[in-house]
Structure 1
Amino acid sequence: MQYWIPASLVASLFISGCSLFPEDVVEQSPVETKPLAELKVPAGLAAAKKPAQFDIPPAPNAPVTEVELKSPMQVLALATNSRVEEEEKEARIWFERSEFTGELLPYLKTNVLDFGKEKQIEITQKDQQGLVFETGWVSRFEEEGFWLWKDMVEKEQSRFLVVFEPKTHGRTVGLRVQLLEHRYIDNDAKLSAIAQKREEVYFLNRLVDKVATVELAQIKQKKAQSRQITLTTGFDAEGNAAMLTGQSIDAAWPQLELLFEQNGFVVNDLDRTKYTFFLTYQEPESGFWDSLWGGEETIKVPLTPGNYQLVLTKSEVGTSLSWRDSEGKVMSAEQVSALHQALVQIIKRDNIEL
């Protein structure tokens, strides 16, 4: 009796053995293929022409060339007024005049020459019209070594031709880069055609990045100039000293949350139905890392550490902000005025809309 369990188990394995192995490991015989017979054309008719553009020519003794296993470089239109045309074969990008550029051609020339000064690359004008420039040697470095012994080692150098191609109307200017000369530091190898294009596109992208960086700074500056701080001091509907902002109450609420962050305020509770913040203020301390890396200067708020309430109320001009102590007592006009001066500095620094 004790032998019937192993025997039945072995029998079941033999019976279900075909299902224990996946189908893909079962060796299958190759499928026999039969060549198709040539199409017979009836007498008096001509056979259709066969396209030969897909035929692979026989080359039994052709040399094996090295395949470059690197992703192709693409011209990056980083600036908002730049574009790349489809089917472009050259390392070229087009810029359009915008509100930030003014006269486009002088604007692009200035950015290219400034890029050369920043990177210590000599850029020389080669024509009387000021459309063709030639660079000095541009070095490429690679990191070598390990840990504390890492070092940047110069590997190759290139010289480029930078050509401006303005349209007759002046609102569009092309910027093209052409490799003039290249050399490796350690050997006499030559660039392949693909590697040459990669060098041209890489340098062009650096020029475009310079234009985009300047453009971004102009956009930020214009936005800061156009943004108006509407927060002032005044009186609420009950005649108490308060702060007034032209923002609606629903717009001012989230902006105040941004003002509280990292400025010493902690929101303990809030009542959105009554538009009230329950706050704790503690003067922020400059940490070790802030002093080490030169962080932004802390703006001191003229409040003693403790609990406060900030009540928002709709007003004719927008929203009134009533500052109160923990017991709900409204602050004096002198306190509100001093607090307003500090908050305006924080609003300017943090780009808060109030």
Structure 2
Amino acid sequence: MCRSFIVQYWIPASLVASLFISGCSLFPEEVTEQSAVEAKPVAELKVPAGLTAAKKPAQYDIPPAPNAPVTEVELKSPMQVLALATNSRVEEEEKEARIWFERSEFTGELLPYLKKNVLDFGKEKQIEITQKDQEGLVFETGWVSRFEEEGFWLWKDMVEKEQSRFLIVLEPKPHRRTVGVRVQLLEHRFIENDTKLSAIAQKREEVYFLNRLVDKVATVELVQINLKKAQSRHITLTTGFDAQGDAAMITGQSLDASWAQLELLFEQNGFVVNDLDRTKYSFFLTYTKPETGFWDSLWSDEETIDVPLTEGDYQVVLTKAEVGTLISWRDSEGKVLSAEQVSALHQALVKIIKKGNIEL
């Protein structure tokens, strides 16, 4: 009993002693303040003669402005002038809603071209545009409305929210090959309240209207580009005979180009490519006359091109010619079509080539 008591007493006693010895680590004293480290000045960098010293970081510091007024914060994404037309550009650090156009092969005389686009834009969007000077460089719009969709499901409606009037100014360079188009907000009003637009919101209205005008110019330009491309495309596909005296079609395109263009021709024209052999430049096709339903004939404006082939399987074999490629049309058994069949088929394929802008 006595030994047990001594052991039990010795354990807590030894624990107290150990805590007392290590007390400095368990209960640290308050850390005394350390003396400030003296900053040693750095010697100024000596720049050799003839060289320029690098800019110091302090030169980029923003100076304090304790009494500066609180400026407006724009919470919307920034509005940018979009140079959608190929001959348009926006100058860096431009402060106004302005874009520059350069004369190109599609514009002709640039200033009359832009004047016409401005007036046509007003007609399409039903916006009144009035010329305000004798030279035709300044135009003023009527009220341009902006609508928002309100309501739910079948009860949705477009409600007019605000109106704006703009000034459109054409700014030609002295040589007239470069013309700037600038838009300025003249007047704005909200339909439901008398709130005034902020300076940032005014700029957004100007840029938004200018982008719509530039989109009009880009659309007209794209039509002109496609028209000129179609006019310049020369269809070389004709009829002739191969070395064996069999009827064939001849194109000025290379063998590989003709192969790729025929793949485009077969699509959506009643031909299904069942198999092909690129090593022998051979297509194995099935032709089925496209079905034209009542609704297709009623709503579709596209002309249906009749291919003079009976439904069934065919082979098309390409071979290299002295100039271009020979295209041989054969039936399912490999027999070459007659000259009359090839001639009639050629006339239909030319129409398909023009319609699909295919180069053959």
> Residues 141-197 of structure 1: CA distance to partner in whole angstroms, max 9, x if unpaired?
111112222211111100000001100011110000000000111111110001000
Deviation at 1:122, TM superposition (A): 0.8
In the TM superposition, 1:3-42 aligns within 5 A as none
SS in 1 for 2:148: strand
CA shift for structure 1 position 257: 0.4
CA RMSD of aligned residues (A): 2.4
Q: Distance in 2 between matches of 1:325 and 1:195?
A: 69
SS where residue 136 of structure 2 aligns? coil
Q: 1:295: Cα distance to partner?
A: 5.7
In percent, how many aligned pairs have the same letter?
Answer: 83
After TM superposition, list the pairs within 5 Å mapping 1:5-154 onto structure 2.
Answer: 53-58=62-67, 67-154=73-160
Shift of 1:53: 4.5
**1:339 counterpart (334, 345, 349):** 345
Name which of 213, 216, 220 aligns with 1:210. Answer: 216
Q: 1:296 to 1:40 in 2, by over 3 A?
A: same
| TM-score, reference length from structure 1 | 0.83
CA contact (8 A) 1:259 1:346 kept: yes
Residue by residue, what CA displacement relative to the aligned partner does 1:192-223 show, whole Å, maximum 9, x if unpaired?
A: 00100000000000110011000000000000
- Off by >6 Å, runs of 4+ in structure 1: 33-41
The one-character-per-residue Cα deviations of 1:270-302 (angstroms, maximum 9, x if unpaired) are: 111111111100111135774565263331111
1:199 aligns with 2:205: yes
Per the alignment, residue 332 of structure 2 pairs with 326
Separation (CA, whole Å) in 2 of partners of 1:129 and 1:35: 79
1:302 touches 1:338 (CA, 8 Å); kept in 2? yes
Contiguous gaps of at least 5 residues in structure 2: 1-32, 42-57
Contact between 1:91 and 1:200, CA under 8 Å: does it hold in 2? yes
Residue among 229, 233, 242 paired with 1:227: 233
CA contact (8 A) 1:237 1:315 kept: no
Name the counterpart of 1:25: none
Aligned to 2:29: none
Find the aligned partners of 2:230 and 2:38 in 1 and give their Cα distance. Answer: 77
Q: Specify the code of the residue in structure 2 equivalent to 1:348.
A: K
How far is 1:138 from its partner? Answer: 0.5
Residue 188 of structure 1 corresponds to which residue in structure 2? Answer: 194
Q: Secondary structure at the match of 2:86?
A: coil
- Does the Cα contact within 8 Å between 1:91 and 1:176 map onto a contact in 2? yes
CA pair 53-331 structure 1, distance change in 2 beyond 3 A: closer
Q: Which has the larger radius of gyration?
A: 2
Residues 159 and 180 in structure 1, CA contact (< 8 A), matched pair in contact too: yes
SS in 2 for 1:139: strand
The CA distance in 1 between the partners of 2:167 and 2:72, in whole Å, is 28
The one-character-per-residue Cα deviations of 1:222-276 (angstroms, maximum 9, x if unpaired) are 0000001111111111111111111111110010000000111111111111111
Q: Secondary structure at the match of 2:222?
A: helix
CA distance in 1, matches of 2:174, 2:332: 70
Distance 1:289 1:103 in 2: 45
Please give the TM-score of this superposition, normalised by the length of structure 2.
Answer: 0.81
Separation in structure 2 between the aligned mates of residue 111 and residue 123 of structure 1, nearest angstrom: 12
